[in-house]
């Protein structure tokens, strides 16, 4: 294969996490007297980490202290409810299984907090993911390239044989910052138009289209 290291975004690429994110966000918002957000509003607010999701869901003049309180309540709720409605997109498990048959290196990098990324990867894709990396004190969130570089190092891979798969403008920018190609997927949280505008190297509508690019 032209690429033997495939690095995936998580939310909106491998897993449809939107409803669980919305439920935990609205739990926190209602606790603090704010209006709940719709699914579409949450869809447009995700992609840059949970703190940004909370910030974008609160009034502009919200204090830092109030933001941190809402974030803490969101995180506590999400940790115990992140597998209620979350599901892999159709065909994802099959392509991950096939990639392992071809002995490819497979990683996940996400702006979700690191412990949640690892737990979701282990729960939904046991034995299929070689490295799972989320935001932490050591790894800046995307579009910084830190998580991609960390995944490549952990896998012992070559950046020239690596490619990134994601669903958002943040993912395209992350790949560009890391100096690797990006495959944009249209089944996630952003539209084809967004991916085209950001300059994704490839855009696919179905998971099985991935293989023609890797070859």
215: pLDDT strictly greater than 90: no
For residue 15, the model assigns a pLDDT of 98
Q: How far apart are CA 198 and CA 127, in angstroms?
A: 33
> What residues does each domain of the chain span?
5-16+87-214, 18-79
For residue 211, the model assigns a pLDDT of 94
For residue 146, the model assigns a pLDDT of 95
The values of phi and psi at residue 58, to 5°, are -110, 160
Q: Hey, which CATH number is domain 5-16+87-214, 1.20.1250.20, 3.40.50.1000, 3.40.50.2020, 3.30.230.10? A: 3.40.50.1000
For residue 47, the model assigns a pLDDT of 83
Neighbours of 48 (CB within 10 A): 18
- For 182: left if phi > 0, alpha if psi spans -120 to 50, otherwise beta; the answer is beta
Q: State the average pLDDT over residues 32-41.
A: 95
Residue 4 annotated in active site: no
Q: How far apart are CA 10 and CA 111, in angstroms?
A: 9
For residue 56, the model assigns a pLDDT of 94
- Give the CATH architecture of domain 18-79: Orthogonal Bundle (1.10)
Q: How far apart are CA 147 and CA 139, in angstroms?
A: 6
* Mean confidence (pLDDT) of the chain: 95
11-32 confidence digits (pLDDT tens): 999 999 999 999 999 999 999 9
Q: Residues of the chain with pLDDT > 70: what percent?
A: 100
For residue 50, the model assigns a pLDDT of 87
Question: Catalytic one among 9, 130, 146, 171?
Answer: 9
127-185 confidence digits (pLDDT tens): 999 999 998 888 889 999 999 999 999 999 999 999 999 999 999 999 999 999 999 99
**In which band, very low, low, confident or very high, does the pLDDT at 115 lie, cut at 50, 70 and 90?**
very high
For residue 212, the model assigns a pLDDT of 93
């Amino acid at each position: 294969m032209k690429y033997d290291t495939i690095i995936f975004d998580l939310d909106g690429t491998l897993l449809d996490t939107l409803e669980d994110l919305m439920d935990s966000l609205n739990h926190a918002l209602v606790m603090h007297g704010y209006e709940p957000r719709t699914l579409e509003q949450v869809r447009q607010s995700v992609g840059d980490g949970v703190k940004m999701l909370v910030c974008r869901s609160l009034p502009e003049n919200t204090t830092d202290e109030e933001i941190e309180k809402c974030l803490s309540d969101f995180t506590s709720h999400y940790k115990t409810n992140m597998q209620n409605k979350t599901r892999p997109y159709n065909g994802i498990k099959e392509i991950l299984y096939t990639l392992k048959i071809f002995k490819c290196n497979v990683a996940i990098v996400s702006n979700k907090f690191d412990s949640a990324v690892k737990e979701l990867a282990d729960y939904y894709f046991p034995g299929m993911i070689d490295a799972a990396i989320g935001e932490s004190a050591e790894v800046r969130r995307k579009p910084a390239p830190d998580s991609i570089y960390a995944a490549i190092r952990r896998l012992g891979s070559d950046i020239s044989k690596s490619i990134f798969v994601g669903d958002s403008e943040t993912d395209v920018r992350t790949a560009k910052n890391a100096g690797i190609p990006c495959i944009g997927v249209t089944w996630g949280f952003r539209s084809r138009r967004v991916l085209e505008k950001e300059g994704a190297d490839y855009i696919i509508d179905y998971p099985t289209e991935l293989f023609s690019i890797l070859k």
